[in-house]
């Protein structure tokens, strides 16, 4: 998923302004433009499409309640993504125990399979294992930067952290992955 272009942001801004002025169809267009992106963003956290849809629905409820407080209509996208992130983190904290048990079992099975499948598969799964142990803020920055191709500044807005904090989180996450790959390489 690519970051929005300047024309897309202008269109979103105009739709926000129109909605605030009373044009209810403008919100329909915003939902049409953003629902899939917000759902995919939520899925990046919760890893369950049903939960991601619930998070997205809850996000839209919040957007509808709070859009009149949005001061900068140009920031609609990052604002909506931030709401989605927070809603997804709330869901994760509620389901953390259950998810931890399932995740632990999955990674144990994956590690056993790695020994059978060979070096390349082991490295990929090793990266996944390391990523699973990363703090949520580092996982989020990795996903937004590499998979969704957001800039550091956009990630800063979405995560409500400074650009330097985003850079630090990205650096630390890459270091942990690199160290794990070295460890796996030397064990072979």
Q: How many CA atoms lie within 13 A of 99 on its CB side?
A: 13
Residue range 118-188, CATH number:
1.10.10.10
**pLDDT beyond 50 at 1:** no
**Residue limits of CATH 1.10.1740.10 in the chain:** 1-95
CATH number, domain 1-95, options 3.30.540.10, 1.10.40.50, 1.10.1740.10, 3.10.180.10: 1.10.1740.10
Lowest-confidence segment of 58-67, 90-99, 111-120 by average pLDDT: 111-120
**Higher confidence at residue 14 or residue 125?**
14
As a 3-state breakdown, the chain gives helix, strand, coil percent values, each rounded to 5, of 85, 0, 15
Q: What pLDDT is recorded for position 107?
A: 63
Q: Which pTM was predicted?
A: 0.57
**Higher confidence at residue 37 or residue 178?**
37
Determine contact, residues 67/23, Cβ cutoff 8 Å: no
* Token duo for residue 36: 């899939």
- CA-to-CA distance for 160 and 156, rounded, in angstroms? 6
Query: Which residues are CB-neighbours of 91 under 8 A, at least 6 positions away?
Result: 45, 46, 51, 54, 55
Of the candidates 65, 87, 67, 68, the residue with the CA atom closest to the CA atom of residue 77: 67
């Amino acid at each position: 998923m690519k970051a929005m272009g300047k024309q897309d942001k202008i269109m979103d801004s105009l739709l926000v302004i129109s909605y605030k002025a009373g044009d209810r169809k403008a919100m329909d267009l915003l939902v049409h433009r953003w629902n899939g992106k917000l759902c995919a963003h939520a899925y990046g956290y919760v890893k369950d499409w049903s939960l991601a849809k619930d998070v997205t629905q809850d996000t839209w409820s919040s957007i509808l309640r709070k859009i009149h407080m949005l001061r900068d209509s140009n920031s609609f996208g990052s604002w909506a993504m931030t709401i989605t992130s927070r809603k997804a983190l709330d869901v994760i904290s509620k389901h953390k125990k259950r998810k931890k048990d399932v995740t632990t079992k999955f990674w144990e099975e994956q590690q056993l399979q790695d020994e059978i499948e060979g070096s390349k598969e082991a490295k990929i799964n090793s990266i996944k294992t390391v990523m699973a142990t990363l703090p949520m803020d580092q996982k989020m920055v990795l996903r937004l930067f590499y998979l969704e191709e957001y800039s550091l500044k956009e990630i800063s807005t979405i995560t409500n952290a400074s650009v330097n904090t985003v850079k630090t989180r990205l650096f630390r996450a890459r270091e942990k992955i690199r160290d794990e790959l070295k460890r796996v390489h030397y064990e072979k």
